[in-house]
Structure 1
Amino acid sequence: MPQIIVLPHVELCPEGAAFEVNTGESICNALLDHDVDIEHACDQVCACTTCHVIIREGFKSLNASSDQEDDLLDKAWGLEPNSRLSCQAVVGTEDIVIEIPKYSINMAKEGHR
């Protein structure tokens, strides 16, 4: 069973986290199921960028991104070459290390630090 390792995020996961997940589960669902309250303003339908994550390890084990996801990622805060929308990134068979960016579009608008 693969594991997701979440690097510390000041507001959402200050201590970081590590947990096992089922292959085929979205990163967003896995985070929410393990009390990492990542934003997902569009309710996980690939219509916003609030669930943006950066895959630090295990990127190649994820499913391929769609054109729609790639277009949305262009608008994401802190975009990097290994960025994904967690609602669209499906866990494969390898462990994944993710970083949740410090800000999302919603966090910047709502005045979070």
Structure 2
Amino acid sequence: MKLWEDTANQLKGSARRKFMAQVVDFLGRGGQVFAQDHPGWSRSTIQKGAIELATGQDFQDQFHLRGKKKAEERLPQLLEHIQEIVEPTSQTDPTFRSTRSYTPITAGMVR
């Protein structure tokens, strides 16, 4: 059992799913329930691996589609709106040490 867990942890993606499906197939009837309870493997992952074994085609992991999108993607005009808010209050750096603009507005006020 420990060998199966260690091997599954070392593999990634399709190879891991196929290995898990092969172990469950080796266990026979009730193998999915056993694998879910003892090593803690997901039954949906095992089923996905079984499909990959049966068809011979691997599913493409699309991790780039997961997660939170950038604010610029969700709100394409965000930068323009922020500039409209900030520009009227911008002034030269009060110490005159640089040519950068200084704005006495906090991020909370812009929000």
Q: TM-score range by the shorter chain?
A: under 0.3
Output the TM-score relative to the length of structure 1.
Answer: 0.21
- Comparing both structures, which one devotes a greater share of its residues to strand? 1
Output the TM-score relative to the length of structure 2.
Answer: 0.21
- Comparing both structures, which one devotes a greater share of its residues to helix? 2
